[in-house]
Amino acid sequence: MATEQVIDQDREAHEAFAGVLRFYELAKRQEWQVRDLPWGEIPPIPEGKGSPERKARRKDMWRSVLTQQLQADILACEMSSQLLNIAPEPEAKLYYSTMVQDESRHTEAWLKLIEEAGGTAERDPHLDELAHMTLESDTLEEKVFQMQVFYERLIISRFRLIARASRGTVLEDLCNRLTTDDGIHHGAGMAYEKVLLRNADAKTKRKLVDAANRLLPTFVEHALWRPKERAFIGSAMRSRDLENLKKDLEIGVRLAESLGLDVSDVELPIS
Ligand SMILES: [Fe+2]
Ligand SMILES: [Fe+2]
């Protein structure tokens, strides 16, 4: 290979990773500590009004919301450390070293908040299954796509919803921080996925769409699942859940399209 060609390829690789490195710098600037949260100054979760029964029911509902976020962040620890281990490029590893720290800090914050809220509730079995599908998927392209491009983009709107319903609490403060952090995780994933797909052949791209089609039915089950603590609001919320789910799936399709994937074969499990 001619020297010029090697230099060109080096420069191209350097430019491709500039995006990932920008997110590394951003992650370092945004870093926070669990002790920065307003512990003891404001209530941990909304206190609720009305009869003692009503208050207890609201508390159970919040405990179940916190439990699922704790579950999601513990799984995110496992997924981000897998990415740190298998991403071959030093730039990508550098970025993932910050994401591992973020996910474990998120876990620490949820653990402390749950302790103040009275303990954990029921786990979402579909969320465990989703994480395992991503952990066991064959390629780096699939893992980055599922975790950072898809899940971490969708979780942002969940944090906004929770923050809006929990004004003036530690929970709201935490959700605002997580909105920023997961915005960085998603942005970094988009930047890295673009690098990974730069020279990908049609077969690799096809495999990504196939993996998404295998994952989507479980994602739908996860989105519509309600623990017993929130079963009482289940039927009233179902049409809103379905609407949110539809929007989420449309966002996923648009993101895949923006990465140059052929989305005509994506099979959305709801109409
Ligand atoms: Fe997280
Ligand atoms: Fe994250």
In the chain the domains, ranked by start, together with CATH numbers, are: 12-265 (1.10.620.20)
Tens of pLDDT along 166-216? Answer: 999 999 999 999 999 999 999 999 999 999 999 899 999 999 999 999 999
Separation of CA 50 and ligand 1 centre (Å): 33
pLDDT at 228: 78
Ligand of minimum distance to the alpha carbon of 184? 2
CB 147 within 8 A of CB 102: no
For helices 3-30 and 170-197, what crossing angle results, to 10°?
Answer: 180
Tell me the residues surrounding ligand 2 (ion) with CB < 5 Å: 152, 182, 185
Separation of CA 28 and ligand 2 centre (Å): 14
d(CA 180, CA 104): 16
pLDDT at 264: 87
Distances (CA, A) of 6 to 10, 13, 92: 6, 11, 21
Predicted TM-score (pTM) of this structure: 0.92
Separation of CA 80 and ligand 2 centre (Å): 8
Separation of CA 67 and ligand 1 centre (Å): 13
Separation of CA 203 and ligand 1 centre (Å): 32
